[in-house]
Structure 1
């Protein structure tokens, strides 16, 4: 397989088509709602508010360009995954509330597809579900335990099921496959086409969307930029992996980097050998996360964790690429699919995602300050942002709904530890997950390292 390119430009940026230029803020203004962040959280929030009350004056402020962050650089999964488990959600509330959150996540996958279609956004959506391979004896045990645990929550076979080796290989014929789990609750899509389409729709509705308008200070009733101050009855923080750049928010979420590669378009013969005929998304049951999808133009997009956390929660364009991580991704991809040994990698990129200390995403609105927030998606944000947008709509408008009663609403994760403890702990956790996968391959038993480190990495 050809080496990844030295550039860190995402495939999505090269295949999204021309973008509608959006002007920076020019001077002070007063609105009803100021949304800080032009990614999915901010765009969906503005969309649902404008739809619910067209009289609202809404402004969206984006530091770079629409979809610049994780929204335009992810792996293109729109899944029902929520970063906190049902058990953790039940501990925050109760069993019925946890199941309501799960149902809301599944409904969000459907809603993203529905809204995209209604708005005329061609985001290359394909609802093929997700297959998660089990390729070691320890992974088989973990996969079967996951299915059994789901049954205890009343989750039936039509929502999560075990596939034996033969069934799994008919969906995705990866090397070493012993079985898999499958859920229908996921869509593959082109994330930047979706983000830009949402922004275009907002502009047509009369919502002001300003690019290159970095907010340097977020206060009750004000969002301050170098180009002017926006005064608003409600201010919504939708900054995810870039939250640490805001004064007073350094330890709210940790920006962890996820890196991605994409191949050239593959031949029909190659895809016949690999599978993914319905554009299912895929992963496996290892500890260090990997993820992939088949794009609408028949490329294979493949990403994973493993890039280091940078001291002081720093984010920088220079961190978007890591040659050693790209090389590991390429090697893992060939290990999974030897047929790709000679395939060219045309794009290699990355970016930060937001991780709260307890790995539980949250959304809320402080009634005293009228500052709203959403985030900490831990990489599961393409659908969760949509749920956040609809929830923030109801909170801003003062509605008491099923969405505003979900257990993630109003949740406050504790702050991350100060440095250097944050740097030491996060990077030790990332390294431990790699060790755990190696341990399981060698011992053929579930990793003791993974059990020990699980409380530090959201387990």
Structure 2
């Protein structure tokens, strides 16, 4: 832990509300009514996060006559889509390095598709009038240890071969962007990332769906999936939906297709936001260009400014709970918030005395290849995408296109990708699952302190195509 003399990180947390900042919004819409009885439609979408919302919206754009129902167990944007940092990245592969390690032959195409996808999101927000604070700020990746400087320089050079134009920044240049004494170097990607208010993005997509005729039912948990002749039936608490096709967008929650469950584990990520910074405090950290920032460690932080000049600070301490446990009481973890606060003041010692107003956590759907995978079930009548591993704000739109391609029986450049056709390595059953994930987490933390050197366990995981990332 990194403590700054004179700063008590615990005192900075004592007044924080234990709720997600984005969802604590007076503009939060009232939920729609739950589904009761039996509904019939062409397509039912299960899950009201980004993946489900994009699937419903794009389904109506492709065929305005298609009857679409969307059901959500809680409220639209309640889970990961309303709790994330709001980094809307063009990457479909959880970063260039991960894509290069797994699909080098098609990485140029994946990068191109990712840039097109982010452009299409920006266009959709403009067409539908969705006010979610979309800022095409770009992202700054920073090095805080000497070995990370070399890695960032190499990554910037590699990215240029795949159509990107990152800029390597030395110490003075990176600190001119954001003033932290911990920064040694950085890579600036000016166009590959936008920042959004994630909850307002979800609510805006919901409104766009409704305007196109999607029937949205909230507080409607899907409890089962079965067949009725050539149709599929999704059972809910108070009724059922009978549909020709089903799109599953359930994120970290157990899939209705049971054979898919071993491919995903829920990992809890944590974040918090400060009080609004005064003009003087904001000037002390620079940040004139409002770029999103992430550091380059295995256990990395992500952080950004909000519309009212707070700093959102998250990441670092990704936690898996034995048995893939999911529970609301895991959304708060005081030990993690204390570590995050200590690291915050280490990064920005000039902000001593700033207080945090909100702390929260939530589950991420993590798979062993760190990026989404796709599939169908029930003879092509059910489609799904899972495993976004925390980088799904933009990638969910691409995933929705793949789901619809598959459900519509289309052969497209997307469906021909090896990334789309392949699956990750499944996680083993407990207790091996917990032991493997925990050993990997500890090994990655050790690598951060050991010049980036990966031990035998991590090298073995690399060879097997397995791993863990926050």
TM-score (normalizing by structure 1): 0.92
Can you list the C-alpha shifts for 1:316-370, whole angstroms capped at 9, x where unaligned? 1011111111111111111111122211100000100111133231234458241
| Per-residue deviation, 1:25 | 0.8
**Which structure 2 residue ranges, 5 or more long, are not aligned?**
1-8
Question: What SS does the aligned partner of 1:326 have?
Answer: helix
Q: Distance between the aligned counterparts of 2:233 and 2:316, measured in 1?
A: 36
Q: 1:60 aligns with which of 51, 60, 70?
A: 70
Structure 2: how far apart are the matches of 1:107 and 1:336?
34
Give the C-alpha shift of residue 265 in structure 1.
0.7
Pick one of 13, 20, 23 that aligns with 2:33: 23
User: Quick one: structure 1 residues 219 and 277, their matched pair in 2 at CA, closer, same or farther if it must change by over 3 Å?
Assistant: farther
Aligned residue pair count: 450
CA separation of 1:146/1:87 partners in 2, compared to 1, >3 Å: closer, same or farther?
closer
Matches for 1:353-432 after TM superposition, within 5 Å: 353-366=364-377, 368-432=379-443
> How many Å apart are 1:62 and its aligned residue?
0.7
Secondary structure of 1:240's counterpart equals coil
The match for 1:231 is 242
- The one of 175, 185, 208 equivalent to 2:181 is 175
CA distance in 2, matches of 1:175, 1:454: 34
- In the alignment, the residues of structure 2 paired with residue 446 and residue 71 of structure 1 have an alpha-carbon distance, to the nearest angstrom, of 32
1:165-314 map, 5 Å: 165-184=171-190, 185-219=192-226, 221-243=232-254, 247-314=258-325
Q: Counterpart of 2:271 in 1: which secondary structure?
A: strand
> Per-residue deviation at 1:308?
2.4
CA contact (8 A) 1:217 1:246 kept: no
Answer with 103-112 or 49-58: which moved more. Answer: 103-112
- Distance in 2 of aligned mates of 1:256 and 1:113: 29
Q: Report the Cα distance in structure 2 between the residues aligned to 1:99 and 1:253, rounded to whole angstroms.
A: 27
SS of alignment partner, residue 346 of structure 1: strand
The 1:154–1:285 alpha-carbon spacing in structure 2 relative to 1, beyond 3 Å, is: same
Report the Cα distance in structure 2 between the residues aligned to 1:293 and 1:251, rounded to whole angstroms.
Answer: 34
Counterpart residue number, 1:338 = 349
Using the TM superposition, give the Cα deviation of residue 13 of structure 1 relative to its aligned residue in structure 2, in angstroms: 0.7
Report the structure, 1 or 2, having the larger helix content. Answer: 1
In 1: Cα distance, 2:26 partner to 2:138 partner: 23
Q: Which runs of 5+ in 1 are unaligned?
A: none
Q: Name whichever of 270-279 and 60-69 sits farther off.
A: 270-279
Aligned counterpart in structure 2 of residue 11 of structure 1, from 17, 21, 32? 21
Q: 1:452 to 1:395 in 2, by over 3 A?
A: closer
How far apart in 1 are the matches of 2:254 and 2:361?
A: 17
Q: Residues 121-150 of structure 1, C-alpha deviation per residue, up to 9 Å, x if partnerless?
A: 110011111101111111112212222333
Tell me how large the CA RMSD over aligned residues is: 2.3
CA distance in 2, matches of 1:103, 1:57: 32
SS in structure 2 opposite 1:311?
coil
What's the CA shift string for 1:12-51, capped at 9, x where partnerless? Answer: 0113613142111111122111111000000001001111
Contact 2:15 2:356 in 1 (8 A): yes
Do the aligned partners of 1:44 and 1:198 also contact (CA within 8 Å) in 2?
yes
> Does structure 2 retain, via aligned residues, the 8 Å contact 1:92–1:407?
no
Separation of aligned partners in 2, 1:41 and 1:435: 35
Match of 2:60 among 50, 56, 75: 50
Aligned equivalent of 1:82: 92
- Please tell me whether the aligned partners of residues 263 and 347 of structure 1 are also in contact (alpha carbons under 8 angstroms): yes
Q: Distance in 2 between matches of 1:18 and 1:91?
A: 41
Aligned-residue offset at 1:391: 2.7
Q: Is the 8 A contact 2:248 2:385 kept in 1?
A: yes
1:47-85 CA distance string (max 9 Å, x none): 011112111111111111101111110011001233456
Match of 2:379, SS state, is coil
Residue 38 (str. 1) matches residue 44 (str. 2): no
CA gap 1:89/1:273 in 2 versus in 1, 3 angstroms: closer
What secondary structure sits across from 1:436 in the alignment? helix
Q: Which moved more, 1:343-352 or 1:234-243?
A: 234-243
Q: In 2, Cα distance between the equivalents of 1:145 and 1:248?
A: 40
Stretch deviating more after TM superposition (72-81 or 386-395): 386-395
